[in-house]
């Protein structure tokens, strides 16, 4: 009877040991799977980091060239008399993307100025010079266009004026869409009206008799 009991205990120990081995194997398999996932994530992060590092290097290479060109651009092109103090540029670089071919437009240059007053002055003078020249400003014989960097939401707000602007053109009414999204209308008597929304401008036009239409 003692021998049978001993055999029963030995069999139970074997089952426990087998369960432990199976558990260890399952745990080892899970660890191997997690390790493979972690290694794959690390590899992906390293690839992303390499790409970001390359873009930063490209931006740094462009900054020096862009800033050097801007130093020459403000004085002869926009008029040195308007800039008694040097412009303080926080950042300037070309837009990211492939280098255009000779028959394509050059990449835009993004400029961040320290003072928003300088930005507004540049845009105002550029618009004035374009009107005086009846065409775009030219630098080194090539046209240069100036635009404010607008957010997607602001672009949408400005686009909402399109229908009103079409009506104004058909009536030969002078107007300007000011920054950020204010419509200015110049009346025939020289007076000016300002509208903060397209609805306000549309209401004004409905209540204003239409003049001769464009042919």
pTM for this model (two decimals):
0.41
84: tokens are 């008694």
Q: What Cα–Cα distance (Å) separates residue 40 from each residue in 29, 36, 37, 68? A: 17, 6, 5, 43
Mean pLDDT computed over 6-33:
70
At 214 the pLDDT is 43
Whether the CB-CB separation of 184 and 192 falls below 8 Å is answered with yes
At 215 the pLDDT is 41
Mean pLDDT computed over 98-107:
77
205: tokens are 């036009």
Q: Is residue 157 helix, strand or coil? A: helix
Q: Which residues contact 82 (CB under 8 A, 6 or more apart)?
A: 121, 125
Please provide the distance, in angstroms rounded to a whole number, between the alpha carbons at the two ends of the chain: 119
Mean pLDDT computed over 130-150:
78
More confident residue, 62 or 213: 62
Mean pLDDT computed over 107-111:
78
d(CA 89, CA 86): 9
Longest pairwise C-alpha distance within the chain? 123
pLDDT tens figures, 179-212: 788 999 998 888 999 999 999 999 999 988 765 4
At 163 the pLDDT is 94
d(CA 67, CA 90): 10
Dihedral, CA atoms, 172, 178, 182, 188, nearest 10 degrees?
-30
The upper half-sphere exposure of residue 43, i.e. CA atoms within 13 Å in the direction of its Cβ, equals 6
With cut-offs at 50, 70 and 90, classify the pLDDT of residue 70.
Answer: low
Mean pLDDT of the chain: 77
69: tokens are 């060109």
Q: Does residue 63 have a pLDDT over 90?
A: no
Q: Is residue 186 helix, strand or coil? A: strand
Domain with CATH 3.30.250.20 in the chain: 152-207
Q: Does residue 68 have a pLDDT over 70?
A: no
CATH superfamily of 152-207: L1 transposable element, C-terminal domain (3.30.250.20)
């Amino acid at each position: 009877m003692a021998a049978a009991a001993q055999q029963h205990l030995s069999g139970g120990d074997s089952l426990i040991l087998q369960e432990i081995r199976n558990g260890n194997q399952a745990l080892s398999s899970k660890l191997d799977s997690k390790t493979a996932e972690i290694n794959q994530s690390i590899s992906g992060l390293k690839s992303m980091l390499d790409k970001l590092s390359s873009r930063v290097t490209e931006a740094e290479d462009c900054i020096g060239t862009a800033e050097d060109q801007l130093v020459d651009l403000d004085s002869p092109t926009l008029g040195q008399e308007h800039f008694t103090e040097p412009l303080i540029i926080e950042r300037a670089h070309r837009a990211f993307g492939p280098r255009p071919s000779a028959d394509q437009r050059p990449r835009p240059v993004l400029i961040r100025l320290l003072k928003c007053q300088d930005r507004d002055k540049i845009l105002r003078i550029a618009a004035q010079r374009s009107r005086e020249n009846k065409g775009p400003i030219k630098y080194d014989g090539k046209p240069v266009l100036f635009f404010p960097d607008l957010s997607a939401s602001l672009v949408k707000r400005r686009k909402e004026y399109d229908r009103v602007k079409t009506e104004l053109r058909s009536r030969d009414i002078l107007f300007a869409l000011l920054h950020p999204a204010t419509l200015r209308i110049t009346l025939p008597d020289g007076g000016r009206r300002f509208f903060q929304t397209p609805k306000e401008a549309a209401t004004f036009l409905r209540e204003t008799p239409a003049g001769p239409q464009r042919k």
